[in-house]
Amino acid sequence: MQLSRRDVLKLGVLGSAALVLPMERVARTKLAQAGRLSPSQLPRPFVRDFVVPPIAQPAKRTIKDGRAVDFYDFVQQARPVQILDAPFPQTTIWGYQGITPGPTIRVPQGTEVVVCQTNALPAVHPVLRYQSTTSTHLHGSASLPQFDGYASDVTATGQSKYYLYPDFQEARTLWYHDHGVHHTAENAYMGLAAQYHLKDAVESAKLPQGEFDVPLILRDAIFGTDGQLIFDSSSESSLMGDVILVNGVPWPKMKVKRRTYRFRLLNASISRSYRVALSNNQPMAVVGTDGGLTQAPQLVRDLRVGMAERYELVIDFSKLGPGQQVILKNLGLPNNVNFPSTANLMMFEVIGDTPDTTNNTLPATLFDHPVMLLKESDAVTRRRLEFVRQNGHWTVNGQTWDDVINSGFTKVVANPALNSVEVWDLVNKSGGLFHPVHIHLVDVQILSRNGRPAFAYERGPKDVAYVGENETVRVIARFGPQVGRYMIHCHNLVHEDHDMMVQFEVGAGGFDPRLAAAAQSTAGLPDVDVFDGFPSDVPGRV
């Protein structure tokens, strides 16, 4: 056939669709990133008041099989919030209950918690245009596999999923955050993160409580002049923001009284690590790490905090005079993009005395966590996991989460027997990158770094090990108490998504982390009013 000019125009419709549609998607994202706030437009530091995320109230409390059960009904929602200074518009965040950080769940040891997580987010991310499926991981909990926020066990918009948390572990600062496959970084960056405090008699008797027990959720972000968050992961490498948010507020100022405070510091950043210190060079006492209390307070003047790491710090303001100000600084670490604005985190301003002196003096000893009593000689197996970028993919021993998916979720890098003790070497041969490695389910003790002892502040139970540049970190753990498949991954969430994540299996025959208690439509769930603890037909209730 002969092609006329009109025919060519017709073909042009197909040609334009083929070539323009893919480019338009990229251009839209780039345009959104182009309007980044200039340094002079960033929020002014130490102006906004410090805020504490609200404590979540259970929708229902019951006793089931002789155990207390708290039921929470959470909705993941998009909401506009004013983060930037006027005249910049509000920022749309994604939050548990529509706030970021989400509400803190505070629960005594031994109380089971059931959280119904309903995804009410927009079906598609407004800028990045991905389908906003979520999975909620309670980081630090020995949850059963199907309640661990398995990456590929996702909940779509309009669906809900029950999560059961056993809470039998020692007191600790946990946090719940998104873990949806391939979009954890974006979802968490939008705000799906919050703390979860497991309390027990030991920490209640020894450490500051109430208003003197303060969560500090640290993260960085990039904002556009339209007020919206900009997600720029530098070609799937790292996301480095120039605005520091503490509990969702840019560089806040906290008024403190002249006494000791306990700060539950969590690095909820996507890719940024911090070296935290006080501007007056005052020492801080590290009293807790990821998995709970340390054996004894460790006095440090600065400490390195990788993504997902938690440190409980006690800071003594009693020797400072009213009106005195101290800045919580970030001294910076290699392989972060350090902006002038990221050198400061928040400010403390002393306002006066308080009559409350409860737990105002630190005891010499705190708690002997079981994992801290393990010795290297207890290990029955040694393993080595290498974290490396290969052919554009972030890998663990050359494997990625794609390999796990392709195997029908059966492929594992390790299969420790239930309750066996193993030593793992976490290896980073790169001099240009660091990888905070998170091993799900278990608490670990860091035995050594390149053969040298762990840092003083790391001498407590951990579930994230900062594997620095050219480092081999040796950890020991007892693998249990649950049976089943659990994830191991880099907590640079960009690396995790692309695809530095694999899994191990404790014992054999655990619940399928993906299929049991899968997400279901909201309509299929029992009504909260008639809810009695936990659905009996869901396997895995402890």
Partner 1 sequence: MSTLAVRPSRVDHLARRGSTPMAFAAALSLSAAIAHLDGVVVHGRVWWAYGAFFLATGVLQVALAGLLWWRPRAWMALIAIPGNVAIVAMYVYTRTNGPPLGPHVGRPESPELLGMTTCAAELAVAVILLRLLGERTGRAMLWGMLLLGLAGWALRLRGTLL
133 vs 294, which CB is nearer to partner 1?
133
Residues constituting the chain? 542
What is the rounded distance in angstroms from the CA atom of residue 209 to the CA atom of residue 246? 20
What one-character DSSP code corresponds to residue 454? P
Q: Which two tokens stand for residue 217?
A: 């959720």
Q: Which of residues 287-326 bind partner 1 (CB under 8 A)?
A: none
CB atoms within 10 A of CB 531: 19
Applying CB under 8 A, among 34, 100, 111, 182 the residue interacting with partner 1 is 182
Total residues contacting partner 1 by CB under 8 A comes to 32
CB of 504 to partner 1, least distance (A): 19
Applying CB under 8 A, among 232, 402, 425, 469 the residue interacting with partner 1 is 402
Q: Which two tokens stand for residue 51?
A: 């805020």
CB of 18 to partner 1, least distance (A): 5
11 vs 380, which CB is nearer to partner 1?
11
What is the rounded distance in angstroms from the CA atom of residue 102 to the CA atom of residue 112? 20
Q: How many helices (H) and strands (E) does the chain have?
A: 5, 31
356 vs 403, which CB is nearer to partner 1?
403
SS3 call for 184: helix
When computed from its CA atoms, the radius of gyration of the chain, rounded to whole angstroms, is 24
Examine residue 14 and tell whether it contacts partner 1 (CB under 8 A). yes
Tell me, what amino acid is at 328? L
Q: Which two tokens stand for residue 238?
A: 């790292």
Examine residue 401 and tell whether it contacts partner 1 (CB under 8 A). yes
19 vs 201, which CB is nearer to partner 1?
19
* Contact between 78 and 121 (Cβ < 8 Å): yes
End-to-end CA distance of the chain: 73
CB of 389 to partner 1, least distance (A): 14
Examine residue 11 and tell whether it contacts partner 1 (CB under 8 A). yes
* Contact between 208 and 215 (Cβ < 8 Å): no
Give the DSSP per-residue string, 80-118.
EE--SPTTS--EEEEEETTBSS-PBEEEETT-EEEEEEE
CB of 2 to partner 1, least distance (A): 8
CB of 184 to partner 1, least distance (A): 12
Q: Left if phi > 0, otherwise alpha if psi is -120 to 50, otherwise beta: which for 95?
A: beta
CB of 430 to partner 1, least distance (A): 20
CB of 239 to partner 1, least distance (A): 17
Examine residue 3 and tell whether it contacts partner 1 (CB under 8 A). yes
Examine residue 5 and tell whether it contacts partner 1 (CB under 8 A). no
- CA atoms 95, 439, 166, 132: torsion sign: positive
Q: Which of residues 126-165 bind partner 1 (CB under 8 A)?
A: 129-131
Q: Which helix (H) or strand (E) holds 401?
A: helix 401-406
Q: Which two tokens stand for residue 539?
A: 């396997």
CB of 44 to partner 1, least distance (A): 37
273 vs 395, which CB is nearer to partner 1?
395
CB of 131 to partner 1, least distance (A): 5
Applying CB under 8 A, among 7, 353, 368, 376 the residue interacting with partner 1 is 7
Contacts of 8 (CB under 8 A, 6+ apart): none
23 vs 373, which CB is nearer to partner 1?
23
26 vs 86, which CB is nearer to partner 1?
26
- CA dihedral 87→128→464→502, nearest 10 degrees, is 180
What is the rounded distance in angstroms from the CA atom of residue 277 to the CA atom of residue 284? 8
Q: Which of residues 109-128 bind partner 1 (CB under 8 A)?
A: 124
CB of 378 to partner 1, least distance (A): 37
Applying CB under 8 A, among 2, 40, 377, 536 the residue interacting with partner 1 is 2
Cα angle, residue 257 at apex, residues 256 and 258 outer, rounded to 5°: 125
Q: Which of residues 16-35 bind partner 1 (CB under 8 A)?
A: 16-19, 21-26
x/- track of binding to partner 1 for residues 406-435 (CB under 8 A): x-----------------------------
Examine residue 377 and tell whether it contacts partner 1 (CB under 8 A). no
CB of 127 to partner 1, least distance (A): 11
126 vs 453, which CB is nearer to partner 1?
126
23 vs 205, which CB is nearer to partner 1?
23
Instruction: Point out which residues bind partner 1 (CB under 8 A).
Output: 1-3, 7, 10-19, 21-26, 124, 129-131, 182, 391-393, 401-402, 405-406
